[in-house]
Amino acid sequence: GAGVSQSPSNKVTEKGKDVELRCDPISGHTALYWYRQRLGQGLEFLIYFQGNSAPDKSGLPSDRFSAERTGESVSTLTIQRTQQEDSAVYLCASSLASGASGRAGNEQFFGPGTRLTVL
């Protein structure tokens, strides 16, 4: 597709359940990023991938959060045993490379996000 896509667009789940969020980056983009946006707040970095390796997982809030990426394609973010504080919009972005290069350095293209509500 032309842009970054994410699914589902909305997810409502019960506390304690596991959820899986999916991101399809722009074709050819080697770097992929996950961010979280809580209501009324800025974006909080979670993890990024260069290819299918994750050099920086520093933003994952707990061991309930994990992410995988298949080659330079789809990524899934999994949240186990969800808690109410996990409620947020989860945004995925991709870029040509993870370093500062190219016209706009590290221009990241964002998907529309998945709105997660944990009841």
- CA-CA distance, 71 to 69, in Å (whole number)? 6
Smallest gap from Cβ 23 to another protein, in A, equals 12
Asked if 76 touches another protein (CB under 8 A), the answer is no
Asked if 66 touches another protein (CB under 8 A), the answer is no
Check if the beta carbon of residue 47 is closer than 8 Å to that of residue 116. no
Angle at 117 (CA atoms; ends 112, 119), nearest 5 degrees:
175
Asked if 16 touches another protein (CB under 8 A), the answer is no
Asked if 99 touches another protein (CB under 8 A), the answer is yes
Asked if 48 touches another protein (CB under 8 A), the answer is yes
Q: Identify the bridge partners of residue 69 per DSSP, sorted by sequence position.
A: 75
- CA-CA distance, 46 to 42, in Å (whole number)? 13
Asked if 12 touches another protein (CB under 8 A), the answer is no
Among 22, 52, 64, 109, binds another protein (CB under 8 A): 109
Among 24, 25, 33, 88, binds another protein (CB under 8 A): 33
**b/e map of 44-71 (b: 16 or more CB within 10 Å)?**
eebbbbbeeebeeeeebeeeebebebee
Nearest to another protein of 19, 23 (CB atom): 23
Residues forming the site for another protein (CB under 8 A):
3-4, 31, 33, 35, 41-45, 48, 50, 55-56, 58-59, 91, 93, 95, 98-100, 104-113
